[in-house]
Amino acid sequence: MANWFQKQWLGFSLWHILLIPLSWIFGVIVSVRKWLYKNGWLKSVRLSVPVIIVGNINVGGTGKTPLVIWLAEQLQLAGYRPGIISRGYGGHAKQVAEVFSTSAPIAVGDEPVLIAMRTGAPVFIGVNRVEAGQALLEAYPECNVIISDDGLQHYRLQRDVEIVVYDSAKGFGNNALLPAGPLREPRARLKTVDAIVSNGRAQPNGGLSEHKSIEMQLESAVFYNLIDHQIKSDTSSFAHKKVTAIAGIGNPERFFQQLRLMGLDFQSRAYSDHHAFNAQDFDDMKADVVLMTEKDAVKCKSFAAPNFWVLPVNAVINNELLIIILNKLNKLRK
């Protein structure tokens, strides 16, 4: 269903006539809610340390997780001690919870587990970002900056830096608000953020001609075996073998295209974002090699087979973004 909506939101058709009035209503609600927070009618909370929001204005995966990982690593190199909060989308946890690299994704969500594994930073989840941030700082008082994975529209949490990420391949669809389009907020919201990051090279027909964006590329590392991460492999090891690639991410085609550019020949299976993989998903998969993203791998670890291989990626971003963030944080120190 989610994939069907994503396709419908790329343009307009007759059934949009029924949905556009609902988008107008949604837009009014969004504007009023934001005004109430801005003018103090709805209470917002400031944490004791600066807060950086990494979010988006549209529904669906845009590449926030690689950016959050990159940002946490860069802040650590700059001498900061970042903590990370997330909603824990896809997990069943109802209360605020700490996330470890060994946590069960079905409980806390796949992305928080991956972030904890990659960064080594404290990670807490919770529907209420304020409570998650407060719990993190209580448990780790040495943390001096909070990164919120998503939460751009969570105005109850005051923020000091806002970064919007968008998928260059999808752009902003038909530019309509929900439910007629994919947008949670109007594109005018982009004028108020500190930085806009394009996941991939910006497309002239669907990008941001009126806003400057900073390009992010996802650079492939070496494949590692899901059972034993110390076992590495390159594409030559998969030559002349039957390979199947799976992806349950926001844009599966981006992962598949990445593999094609690496010279791999494979069959592909795309699933919905945050798909809860189980062993039965692989029962009919007659493959010598199964390739997956790190985000999917954290959900497959408990039933991993020797032929499960993972392709980690690292975000490569222009230093301009880090300069913007550090300048803002330095001003707050004064």
User: What's the chain's length in residues?
Assistant: 334
Helix (H, G, I), strand (E, B) or coil at 222: coil
pLDDT score at 169 = 85
pTM: 0.94
Residue 17 belongs to some domain of the structure? no
For residues 188 and 257, state if they share a domain.
Answer: no
Lowest mean pLDDT among 12-21, 102-111, 312-321: 12-21
Residue 31 belongs to some domain of the structure? no
For residues 144 and 234, state if they share a domain.
Answer: no
Instruction: Calculate the CA 257 to chain-centre distance.
Output: 19
pLDDT score at 5 = 67
- Taking the C-alpha atoms of residue 243 and residue 309, their distance in angstroms, rounded to an integer, is 10
For residues 206 and 230, state if they share a domain.
Answer: no
pLDDT score at 207 = 53
Query: If you average pLDDT over residues 237-262, what whole number do you get?
Result: 94
For residues 76 and 189, state if they share a domain.
Answer: yes
Q: What are phi and psi of 83, to 5 degrees?
A: -120, 155
Q: Name residues whose C-beta falls within 8 Å of residue 327's C-beta, 6 or more positions apart in sequence.
A: none
Residue 22 belongs to some domain of the structure? no
- Taking the C-alpha atoms of residue 113 and residue 108, their distance in angstroms, rounded to an integer, is 7
Query: If you average pLDDT over residues 319-330, what whole number do you get?
Result: 96
In contact, 268 and 75? CB cutoff 8 Å: no
For residues 158 and 211, state if they share a domain.
Answer: yes
Cα–Cα distances in angstroms (integers) from residue 218 to residues 87, 91, 166, 319, in the given order? 23, 25, 13, 15
Lowest mean pLDDT among 58-62, 186-190, 264-268: 58-62
Q: What are the pLDDT digits (tens) for 111-131?
A: 999 999 999 999 999 999 999
Residue 75 belongs to some domain of the structure? yes
- CATH number, domain with residue 84: 3.40.50.300
Whether pLDDT at 174 is above 60: yes
- In the sheet with 123-125, reading across from the earlier edge strand, the strands are 97-99, 123-125, 82-86, 145-149, 51-55, 161-167, 195-199, 214-220, 313-317
pLDDT score at 210 = 57
In contact, 26 and 134? CB cutoff 8 Å: no
**DSSP H/E element including 67:** helix 64-77
When divided into structural domains, the chain yields a total of 2
Calculate what percentage of the chain has a pLDDT beyond 70.
Answer: 96
Residue 228 belongs to some domain of the structure? yes
The identity of residue 230, as a single letter, is Q
Q: What are the pLDDT digits (tens) for 180-193?
A: 999 999 999 999 99
Whether pLDDT at 17 is above 80: yes
Query: If you average pLDDT over residues 12-29, what whole number do you get?
Result: 91
For residues 63 and 120, state if they share a domain.
Answer: yes
Calculate what percentage of the chain has a pLDDT beyond 90.
Answer: 84
The identity of residue 66, as a single letter, is P
Joined tokens for residue 218: 């996802």
For residues 55 and 202, state if they share a domain.
Answer: yes
Q: What are the pLDDT digits (tens) for 197-242?
A: 999 987 665 556 557 899 999 999 999 999 999 999 999 999 999 9
Angle between helices 64-77 and 319-333 (to 10 degrees): 60
**DSSP H/E element including 131:** helix 129-139
Residue 230 structural domain: 222-311
